[in-house]
A and B are shown apart, each in its own frame.
Chain A
């Protein structure tokens, strides 16, 4: 996936660098603002990560604050809810990935084989819709549907369960609503991949008497596999990146046994309690685990398919 065949062309000697810089001054001018903004708001914060190892005091600045080494990390690992938060974070994203990953693949295999163009378009429009709704609104809907008095789910089940106070229901709620919101949108990349499949393959398969199911298994699935693996690797690299927004909005005091995750803790400690150094340390731990996971999964995939994806 890396190498690109170089076209053999007559090589014209490049003009000197000074002239090339001068020829392109307008392009550099365009890049100026994006570079400045990216430097200030992306690179300077990377430099600021070191406050995870310091006792940051705004009045002293980053370099003036006392170096404390691993103290914040030790405090996190000895915090009473530390093990629970790590477990909840990993389990929530692991189960989320497990359930959410196959759905767009199966859906796009079905949608791709629909033969009525207009109907196909309608299916796509409807399936994409929830992606365009704010998590705030989605969580509002979840709360309405799960309400113990008159919520849709309880009406249908003839029960009056307060699901959001049951820690055993939290993961299911989180994952099911996630699939509802994003499985359709997740189809786009697969549908785009499938639309590039050579249609003569289908014709040939039809002549050979292959059923639709056989065509899907023999043509579409192999065509999707590289994209699916790539997606899986990228998701594995963000396994610890449980979205803050939904968890925070669906968390109640009673479901914390499963809804207490690192991202919410980072927010509470950092923004609500202004414990800047401690929050940064916890966030850094989270990122470090992510990077390690990404490398491990990439290695496994490389060995399995001889392709270096990342």
Chain B
């Protein structure tokens, strides 16, 4: 027995070391590309391409960031993205809540039918063009609301929220508030909303991330360049590698200088686009597992 516990104690320690080593390597593999871009965004691009910035910046400069904020297209895209993210998140979370609450009330006549009505859209859809034609017919082409309305209710998230209402909010509280004379709307406002802040936080972050990062919907429905969100603007910078006319006119150093700025702006724009969401999500991280589990429980 004594010997046994000793060997197991030893192997506990070895396995701890092995597990920490594995997870450390994985973390490095995940984090390094982002770190590399961050370092490169503060460096002279020629040093980056010469391989001098694997660990630390070389030829420290903020010109990349100056160029990003001086670029009128990127700036407009940034403002657009902020606007779409705020409005879209308010819209989406409201939709999730006003759909999930009625469906969480078991006494609602027709509850099964309504659940199925929403659930079906998770598995079947009209596809790209039939949806596009409806959006067009409802007059939303080149209208900001094309980003929000066709998405309607995010059914997967709605089920998570509904299950949270059913399983994580004490049903006695709901009953008590209604015995005290609250209507179902008042219960929603006074009991459900205050008691569901963890899942609301998760949904707010999910929606924010979805709208901040989305560009495909905008590519299809927002035809005017002045309405493009940040990622779509960055397509010219990152994918097509083209300097914008605005840049070309503001830079006085000739082709070489323009080329340099075009390269620098790639790194800084990646950081500028990715940073807001990377800063936000750790705050609600502890609720992710909870929320996912609530959603995985069939109810």
Name the residue on A nearest B146 (C-beta).
Answer: A41
B267: which A residues are within 8 A, CB to CB? 144
B27: which A residues are within 8 A, CB to CB? 122-123, 126-127
A178 within 8 A of B: no
Q: Which of A42-50, A84-92, A253-261 contacts B (4 or more CB under 8 A)?
A: A42-50
Q: Given that A27-B105, A41-B150 are known contacts, is A114 also in contact with B118, CB under 8 Å in the complex? A: no
B281 within 8 A of A: yes
Name the residue on A nearest B121 (C-beta).
Answer: A42
Q: Given that A24-B109, A38-B153 are known contacts, is A150 also in contact with B51, CB under 8 Å in the complex? A: yes
Q: Given that A41-B152, A134-B212 are known contacts, is A21 also in contact with B109, CB under 8 Å in the complex? A: yes
Q: Is there contact, CB below 8 Å, between A211 and B11?
A: yes
Q: A75-117: contact bitstring with B at CB < 8 Å (1 yes, 0 no)?
A: 0000000000000000000000000000000010011011100
Q: Is there contact, CB below 8 Å, between B215 and A284?
A: no
Q: Is there contact, CB below 8 Å, between A152 and B15?
A: no
- A60–chain B nearest beta-carbon distance, Å: 13
Q: Is there contact, CB below 8 Å, between A41 and B101?
A: no
Q: Is there contact, CB below 8 Å, between B102 and A31?
A: yes
Q: Which of A167-175, A186-194, A217-225, A296-304 contacts B (4 or more CB under 8 A)?
A: A186-194
B117: which A residues are within 8 A, CB to CB? 35, 38
From B132, B216, B281, contact of A244 by CB (8 A): B216
Q: B244-257: contact bitstring with A at CB < 8 Å (1 yes, 0 no)?
A: 00000000000000
B169 within 8 A of A: no
- A225–chain B nearest beta-carbon distance, Å: 14
Residue tally, chain A, CB below 8 Å to B: 90
Q: How many Å lie between the Cα of A23 and that of B269 in the bound state?
A: 54
Q: Given that A27-B105, A114-B19 are known contacts, is A41 also in contact with B231, CB under 8 Å in the complex? A: no
Q: How many Å lie between the Cα of A124 and that of B267 in the bound state?
A: 25
Q: Given that A51-B130, A137-B238 are known contacts, is A127 also in contact with B30, CB under 8 Å in the complex? A: yes
Q: Given that A126-B31, A137-B238 are known contacts, is A188 also in contact with B289, CB under 8 Å in the complex? A: yes
Shortest beta-carbon contacts, A-B, top 6? A45-B126, A150-B49, A140-B238, A48-B130, A134-B213, A212-B15
- Listed by A's residue number, 14 A-B pairs whose Cβ atoms lie within 8 Å are A20-B109, A30-B99, A42-B126, A46-B124, A46-B125, A126-B31, A128-B281, A129-B34, A133-B277, A134-B273, A188-B288, A192-B290, A196-B293, A211-B8
* Chain A residues close to B by CB (< 8 Å): 1, 17, 20-21, 23-24, 26-28, 30-31, 33-35, 37-38, 40-49, 51, 58, 107, 110-111, 113-115, 119, 121-130, 132-137, 139-141, 143-145, 147, 149-150, 152, 155, 180, 184, 188-189, 191-193, 195-196, 206, 209, 211-213, 227, 244-245, 249, 266-267, 270-271, 276, 279-280, 283-284, 287
**Besides A144-B270, A145-B33, A266-B129, 10 new A-B residue pairs in contact (Cβ under 8 A), listed by A number:** A30-B99, A30-B101, A35-B117, A38-B153, A44-B134, A126-B30, A134-B215, A188-B292, A192-B289, A206-B8
* Chain B residues close to A by CB (< 8 Å): 4, 7-8, 11-12, 15-16, 19-20, 22-23, 26-27, 29-31, 33-34, 36-37, 48-51, 95, 98-99, 101-103, 105, 107-109, 114, 117-118, 121, 124-135, 138, 149-153, 183-185, 188, 209, 212-216, 220, 231-232, 234-235, 237-239, 241, 266-267, 269-270, 273-274, 277-278, 280-282, 285, 288-290, 292-293, 296, 298
